[in-house]
Structure 1
Amino acid sequence: MEFEVSYTLENEQQFWDELDDIVSAHCETHELIDNTLRSYLHFTTNYKGEYIQTEYGIARCSYKLLESALFAAHKDYIRRQIVYSLLQEDSADTLHFIIAFLLYDGRQNEITLEMMNEEGAFPRLVELIQERKDDETGLHRMQLELLYEMSRIQRLRLEDLMLIEDEFIIYMFDIIEGLSDDVNDPYHYPVIRVLLVLNEQYMVFAHDPGPGQSPTTQLTNKVIKMLSLYGSACKTFGENIILLLNRESETSLQLLILKLLYLLFTTPPTYEYFYTNDLRVLVDVMIRNLLDLPLSATALRHTYLRVLYPLLANTQLQQPPHYKRDELLRLLSMMTSDGGGMTHFGAVDETTKRLVARCVKVKWLAEDIEAAAVASGNETVAKKLLGVELPVAMASSLSVVEVAAHKEKPGVQTPSRREDSMREGKDGLRLSTTAKDGLGAEKSPFEVEGEA
């Protein structure tokens, strides 16, 4: 028999008082815990819309349980029972509370997200996202956020990745293209993040199939596949990932974006996915971010440089007029400087030298490089930059593996030099939140020169 209790409430305060009583129950057996959890879900679902009308209200309900003595004493069991409820429940209102609990708990405790993966929650979430399109927006967005969180902290199982159909990826792109032009729409980024993290899962598998998998096992990256086939219909996605890279301070999310950009710029069908003006914006953002990274962010700096090379070499940026060639050359020369007043990036490691050397070998950057160096008053720049040899084949293979393997723990923020924006650095550069025009005069990263 299903466990149910009837409640008669007269106001919102009574609701919260009663919820406190429910989660405060002292339970010594699994049966009593199950009864309490059923009571919790039945009670919150029953008054959803009456006393719980906002996402804040749903979150508050979740934290009532998360901060209870009951949960503190039986965490593992309660988490597993909530995961089982996710796999079995069909009521949208009840699912909203289940998913909210798992999301808020998972953001603080990765063990919850790992448990979800073990119990097969990934295909269930994919199913809910795709097949329950008519569920309320708040629930749908929370499902996307939970899918993202569980996918970014662990490697997904091959069998789960293989369950993702083309239609699911197309549906994700369709959501983005169908949204408003307001980039602050809270629906934009949960969808984008799901696509970014799925791309990373495909990318990691391609270069490390994992234990028990044959090196010849093939798994199509369906994010890149769909952009290769239908990129012209998915331009809003591209515009948004550039905006997100410009705004984002979380290191792991920057890496997710850079990994996707790397594949787009090294996959021939997507070389010209972005509009030229968007590529110019991206150059501005990358110059600004490379300048703004602290000395300690060596690995992230390397990833930016690994993306910069195919961006400059393979896209329409290789066609004249060449956007910010002098500024790029001056930036790259600074990154390999071993003194002479150029101390912005500190000591130069061998990987940075290798990656900078590869960028400088881009044909349109190398052409007339000595003339550009003379014009800037640095005749030695050309000889130094072009004098570093690097076998192209080695650089290409290293970059693919290194980009795929680079990980960062979620939540870690990339420090910024922007707090020093109002004072001159030792290298004479004044940093700001805007990109630099010629590495001297300030210019907004979105103030783009017109195409010829």
Structure 2
Amino acid sequence: MAFEVSYDLENEQQFWDELDEIVSARCHQHEIIDNSLRAFLNVTTNYISEYLQTDFSVVKCIFRMLEGELFASNKEYVRRQIIYCLLQEEDNPTLHIVAAFLLYDARNSQNDEIFEMMHSEGTFARLVQLVQTRAIQEDTRLHQLLLQLLYESSRVQRLNWEDFMAVDDAFVLYLLEIIEGASDDADDPYHYPVIRVLLVLNEQYLVASTSQQTDGRPGITNRVIKAISTHGMTYKTFGCNLILLLNRESETSLQLLILKVLYLLFGNPSTAEYFYTNDLHVLVDVILRNLIDLPHDSPAANALRHTYLRVLHPILTHSQISKPPHYKRDDLLRLLHLLVTSGNHFAPVDETTVRLVNRCTSVPWLHPPAAPAPAAHHNGHNSTTHSPVDHVANGQKEYARRALGMTVQDGGESSTSVLEIAGHTAQPGVQTPSMSKLAQ
């Protein structure tokens, strides 16, 4: 979109006044709308280094447009023109304003219309290309913004064949390299955007793997799992961050994204021991805590509980904790027993939870060698030998309080697992149900 107007603004107030005049224009003819959009991009890009130096100022600028008459009267046309700019423009300031518009328009409208339009115009491949461009990599704010747009647009639209073909091994390794090279600070601004792109890519591969190929094309390789399978020793930080995020993430959809990666990693022989043993112990602790904190009377909690249990089984079966010394064997047995004996008073524990718990408890190493039978007492009373699991019901609340730090209120499997895990989703922003929060 060529620029035709130049500005010579003397101060910040003049900048905002000019911007307000542009976005409040009443116009319906495409040619006049195009001129107004050129003016908007011209003034914002020319003064981005002076008056739009912070993320807050950029957001303020974009919302002036979103709330102005120019956009309100011509939403579809303006959106499409902005998308065309994303596809065609090369200079960083223009890409910054365009990406910010698309991202905040989507968040503000709280619907998928803008992302559907982007998907239909093929922006996924363009975003993959842009985040690998050296000039953009050197502009940290723009790079993060494009990663956020790539993540949010990809989590609500299924990728097609052409989209998957835009992702090669080098792109995934590049993202892993960013994480590996980032600081040890968990709040490093690069951690979240990059990790989330990898999470959503993995989910797209997982969903694609459950769909039948009817057009004769070969199956699509999950390049995230492939990269860890072949270069896992080099990129350990990604795994550490997955556990850290799962430990503190309160958004259900993001927990599910993390669990989907973990399910595939532990279910794959070449990646089952990807995590350091100490990190694996932390992961088991996190799963124990999160499972016991999920309420029993919430459909959303049930779906998340099922996913945790589906992830727990390959951890118990294939990871390092399947070998002596077995980490927290008694705690795991207590927790699994608790899950099938502490439903609410008015409804039994659901059948899927019972089936998945039974699957986990069937792992051989969870069961210690049977103790010798005690000598029979001839006092006229029957004697009964109890396994360790039989004694769990006594003091369940005390165990949860002391060992897990939570207050507990009263109250073909592999193929099926893949299908169900792929199908478990949640709306962005929805918070995970929590018994500990309800008790506060």
SS in structure 1 opposite 2:431? coil
- Residue matched to 2:247: 246
- Residue matched to 1:75: 75
Deviations 1:185-236 (A, max 9, x none): 12101000000100111111111146x434x731110000000000011111
- Residue matched to 2:380: none
Deviations 1:319-348 (A, max 9, x none): 1111111111111111111x6xx7599630
Within the alignment, does 1:372 sit opposite 2:388 as a pair? yes
Aligned residue runs from structure 1 range 241-280, under 5 A? 241-280=242-281
- Residue matched to 1:312: 316
- Residue matched to 2:115: 113
| 1:373 positional shift | 3.0
| 1:3 positional shift | 4.6
CA–CA separation in structure 2 for the residues paired with 1:119 and 1:82: 11
SS in structure 1 opposite 2:51? coil
| 1:173 positional shift | 0.3
Deviations 1:284-319 (A, max 9, x none): 111111111223011111001000100111000111
Aligned partner of 2:188 among 165, 169, 185: 185
Aligned residue runs from structure 1 range 17-28, under 5 A? 17-28=17-28
SS in structure 1 opposite 2:49? coil
CA–CA separation in structure 2 for the residues paired with 1:410 and 1:377: 37
- Residue matched to 2:428: 410
- Residue matched to 1:224: 225
Within the alignment, does 1:208 sit opposite 2:211 as a pair? yes
User: Is 2:28–2:73's contact at 8 Å kept on the other side of the alignment?
Assistant: no
User: Is 2:259–2:308's contact at 8 Å kept on the other side of the alignment?
Assistant: yes
Aligned residue runs from structure 1 range 5-404, under 5 A? 5-107=5-107, 108-132=110-134, 133-209=136-212, 212-214=214-216, 217-295=218-296, 296=298, 297-337=301-341, 343=344, 347-368=348-369, 371-373=387-389, 394-404=412-422
After TM superposition, the structure 1 stretch with the greater mean CA deviation from structure 2, 49-58 or 6-15, is 6-15
Deviations 1:119-157 (A, max 9, x none): 010000000011235441010001000000111011011
User: For the structure 1 residues 207 and 2, does the alpha-carbon distance in structure 2 shift closer, same or farther, using more than 3 Å as the test?
Assistant: closer
- Residue matched to 2:398: none
CA–CA separation in structure 2 for the residues paired with 1:411 and 1:209: 31
User: For the structure 1 residues 13 and 231, does the alpha-carbon distance in structure 2 shift closer, same or farther, using more than 3 Å as the test?
Assistant: same
Task: Give, as a single letter, the amino acid of the residue that structure 1 aligns with 2:151.
Answer: Y
CA–CA separation in structure 2 for the residues paired with 1:131 and 1:191: 15
CA–CA separation in structure 2 for the residues paired with 1:67 and 1:415: 34
Alignment RMSD, CA only? Answer: 1.9
| 1:402 positional shift | 1.0
User: For the structure 1 residues 9 and 255, does the alpha-carbon distance in structure 2 shift closer, same or farther, using more than 3 Å as the test?
Assistant: same
Name the count of aligned residue pairs.
402
After TM superposition, the structure 1 stretch with the greater mean CA deviation from structure 2, 244-253 or 368-377, is 368-377
User: Is 1:99–1:142's contact at 8 Å kept on the other side of the alignment?
Assistant: yes
CA–CA separation in structure 1 for the residues paired with 2:37 and 2:212: 39
Task: Give, as a single letter, the amino acid of the residue that structure 2 aligns with 1:195.
Answer: L
CA–CA separation in structure 2 for the residues paired with 1:172 and 1:35: 38
User: For the structure 1 residues 37 and 31, does the alpha-carbon distance in structure 2 shift closer, same or farther, using more than 3 Å as the test?
Assistant: same
User: For the structure 1 residues 351 and 11, does the alpha-carbon distance in structure 2 shift closer, same or farther, using more than 3 Å as the test?
Assistant: same
Task: Give, as a single letter, the amino acid of the residue that structure 2 aligns with 1:111.
Answer: E
CA–CA separation in structure 2 for the residues paired with 1:2 and 1:166: 36
Task: Give, as a single letter, the amino acid of the residue that structure 2 aligns with 1:122.
Answer: F
Deviations 1:343-371 (A, max 9, x none): 59963011111100000011111334764
CA–CA separation in structure 1 for the residues paired with 2:345 and 2:244: 26
Unaligned runs of 5+ in 1: 379-393, 423-452
User: Is 1:153–1:410's contact at 8 Å kept on the other side of the alignment?
Assistant: no
